[in-house]
């Protein structure tokens, strides 16, 4: 970057300045789908939205009530960088209650969304050029985060037969002789698949033996439809776990997540937190204390059952229509469906499905490079009557 950019004769200042960390970040294709869907709606068309990764349920009432109570006090100050001590403790107890494994509050950091948790974890995991293994297909933000923190995202093709998950064998093969660093996710976005406990155990233990860094994304925990969730924390203390109040707890707009770190990293992570976000939103932290109340957890269990019923309905109907669902969608609110019976270009299919049938879904190419043209992601963040309408529209569209 010693050349003077105005000598290069390029057109925009962005180009003139040359490469930057953000260069590796491509726009999500779903943004174009969403924009087109909104334009169609503005012109009077009815659109069914199955492209959106945000729960349709409102903030649980006990959480809203706690926020309103706190607001009447009027003191919305910074909290400590690591978060409110009482919330760190409450989350530690939640691990004991739900997973049977206690976690020291000193290892728990409240963050501005799960996004903030990834920033903290990557700041202590990465150095320029360090490889980070990621499942392909997987959540596209991971590789963009790794780019921003000057790491090298390394796509690991994962198989439907292995529920689209990383495992110890794959990481051994793909770590390239370096200290292994990986982000795993269960339940997975986009596949909705849950990693089997034995696979997760082996993965955690292999990273521990290799003295590597495993970041386990558990933001869809609580939204499982076939048994209790299993956390990486059950299999070792030398793992980073990312979680969030957004999905299961229905608190997306509150922007509150958390990170559990190995004890040896706590001091470094706290220093990073002090610098890169000072503290997570205060009101959200006080509100979140109410998310663990009995009344709130009962409401969340009703919602989980509603998601399960939607999952059952949509999965069955998609298969009847001729879509393939090669790995069981046992968590989150996504079905990653094989549409190769209808097209060899899922992105073009998604565009036509929107234009002609008024159903918005996300094409596979947002999630990686492994046969993305075969796949569409359906989000069941809408109620069953809406899903029925979507299925009818798709049936007419594919002529089934």
- Expressed in angstroms, the distance from the first to the final Cα of the chain is 57
CA 75 to chain centre: 32
- Binder to a second copy among 6, 161, 226, 385 (CB under 8 A)? 6
Q: Which of 33, 37, 51, 59 binds a second copy (CB under 8 A)?
A: 59
**Which strands form 181-185's sheet, in the order they lie side by side?**
108-111, 257-260, 240-244, 213-217, 181-185, 131-136, 152-157
With contacts defined by CB under 8 A, name the span among 124-132, 223-231, 351-359, 384-392 that binds a second copy. Answer: 124-132
User: DSSP states of 181-198 as a string?
Assistant: EEEEESS-TTT-----HH
Smallest gap, in angstroms, from Cβ of residue 159 to a second copy? 27
Q: Is 253 in the site for a second copy (CB under 8 A)?
A: yes
Q: Contact with a second copy (CB under 8 A): which of 248, 254, 258, 315?
A: 254
Among 96, 264, 298, 319, binds a second copy (CB under 8 A): 264
Out of 9, 46, 75, 302, which residue is the one contacting a second copy (CB under 8 A)? 75
Smallest gap from residue 290 Cβ to a second copy (A): 13
Q: How far apart are CA 254 and CA 265, in angstroms?
A: 27
> What are the distances in angstroms from CA 89 to CA 75, 136, 302?
22, 35, 26
> DSSP label at 126?
-
Output the CA torsion sign for 72, 75, 78, 79.
Answer: negative
Q: Assess 21 for contact with a second copy (CB under 8 A).
A: yes
Q: Is 340 in the site for a second copy (CB under 8 A)?
A: no
3-state secondary structure of 104: coil
Piece of the chain touching a second copy by CB under 8 A; list 75-83, 97-105, 361-369, 379-387: 75-83
CB 362 within 8 A of CB 29: yes
Residue whose CB is less far from a second copy, 57 or 313: 57
Binding status of residue 9 toward a second copy by CB under 8 A: no
Residue choice 9, 44, 177, 226 for contact with a second copy (CB under 8 A): 177
Tell whether the torsion through CA atoms of 321, 324, 330 and 331 is positive or negative. negative
If the CB atoms of residues 239 and 353 are measured against a second copy, the closer one turns out to be 239
What is the sign of the dihedral through the CA atoms of 83, 84, 89 and 92?
Answer: negative
Nearest distance from C-beta of residue 207 to a second copy, angstroms: 11
Sheet holding 334-338, edge to edge: 334-338, 375-379, 362-363
74: enclosing H helix or E strand? none
Minimum Å gap between C-beta 391 and a second copy is 25
Residue 172 sits in the site that holds a second copy (CB under 8 A): no
Q: Which is nearer to a second copy, 144 or 388 (CB)?
A: 144
Question: How many other CB atoms are there within 10 angstroms of residue 320's CB atom?
Answer: 11
Q: Which of residues 121 and 166 has its CB atom nearest to a second copy in the complex?
A: 121
Tell me if 71 contacts a second copy by CB under 8 A: yes
Nearer to a second copy, 46 or 211 (CB): 211
- Residue partners of 392: CB distance under 8 A and separation at least 6: none
Closer residue to a second copy (CB): 150 or 340 = 150
Q: Which of 67, 197, 289, 306 binds a second copy (CB under 8 A)?
A: 67
Number of residues binding to a second copy, judged by CB under 8 A: 86
**Does the protein bind a second copy through residue 129 (CB under 8 A)?**
yes
Cα–Cα distances in Å, from 114 out to 60, 129, 142, 154? 19, 24, 11, 21
Q: Does 265 contact a second copy by CB under 8 A?
A: yes
Helix (H, G, I), strand (E, B) or coil at 242: strand
Residue 158 near a second copy by CB under 8 A: no
User: Looking at beta carbons only, is 151 or 327 nearer to a second copy?
Assistant: 151
The only residue of 4, 42, 43, 226 in contact with a second copy, by rule CB under 8 A: 4
- Smallest distance from the beta carbon of 399 to a second copy, in angstroms? 36
Q: Is 392 exposed, middle or buried (0-12, 13-18, 19+ CB in 10 A)?
A: middle
Q: How far apart are CA 153 and CA 174, in angstroms?
A: 12
Stretch that binds a second copy, among 74-82, 101-109, 308-316, 380-388 (CB under 8 A): 74-82
- Cβ proximity to a second copy, 293 vs 343, nearer residue: 293
Q: Per rule CB under 8 A, is residue 109 in the interface with a second copy?
A: no
The reply on whether position 122 binds a second copy by CB under 8 A is: yes
- Catalogue the E-assigned strands of 122-226: 131-136, 152-157, 181-185, 213-217
């Amino acid at each position: 970057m010693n050349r003077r950019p105005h000598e290069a004769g390029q057109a925009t200042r962005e180009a003139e300045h040359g490469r930057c960390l953000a260069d590796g970040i491509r726009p999500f294709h779903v943004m174009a789908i969403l924009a087109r869907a909104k334009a169609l709606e503005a012109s009077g068309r009815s659109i069914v939205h199955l492209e959106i990764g945000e729960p349709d349920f409102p903030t649980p009432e006990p959480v809203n009530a706690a926020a309103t109570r706190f607001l009447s006090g009027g003191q919305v100050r910074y909290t400590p960088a690591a978060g409110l001590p009482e919330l760190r403790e409450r989350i530690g107890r939640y691990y004991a209650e739900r997973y049977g494994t206690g976690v020291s509050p000193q290892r728990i950091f409240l963050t501005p969304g799960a996004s903030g948790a990834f920033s903290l974890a990557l700041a202590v995991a990465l150095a320029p050029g360090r490889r980070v293994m990621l499942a392909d297909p997987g959540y596209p933000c991971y590789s963009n985060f790794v780019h921003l923190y000057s790491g090298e995202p390394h796509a690991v093709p994962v198989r439907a037969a292995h529920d689209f998950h990383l495992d110890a064998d794959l990481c051994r093969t793909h770590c390239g002789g370096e200290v292994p660093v990986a982000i795993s996710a269960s339940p997975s976005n986009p596949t909705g698949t849950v990693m089997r406990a034995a696979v997760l155990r082996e993965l955690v233990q292999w990273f521990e033996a290799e003295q590597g860094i495993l970041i386990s994304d558990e933001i869809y925990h609580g939204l499982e439809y076939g048994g209790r969730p299993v956390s990486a924390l059950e299999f070792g203390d030398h793992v980073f776990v990312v979680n969030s109040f957004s999905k299961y707890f229905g608190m997306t707009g509150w922007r509150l997540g958390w990170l559990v770190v190995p004890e040896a990293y706590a001091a470094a992570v706290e220093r990073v937190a002090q610098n890169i976000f000072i503290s997570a939103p205060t009101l959200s932290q006080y509100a979140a204390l109410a998310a663990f109340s009995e009344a709130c957890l009962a409401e969340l269990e009703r919602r989980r059952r509603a998601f399960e019923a939607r999952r059952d309905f949509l999965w069955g109907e998609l298969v009847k229509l001729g879509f393939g669902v090669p790995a069981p969608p046992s968590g989150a609110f996504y079905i990653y469906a094989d549409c190769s019976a209808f097209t060899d270009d899922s992105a073009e299919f998604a565009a036509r499905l929107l234009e002609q049938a008024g159903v918005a879904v996300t094409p596979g190419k947002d999630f990686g490079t492994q046969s993305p043209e075969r796949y569409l992601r359906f989000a069941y963040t809408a109620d069953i009557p809406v899903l029925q309408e979507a299925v009818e529209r798709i049936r007419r569209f594919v002529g089934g």
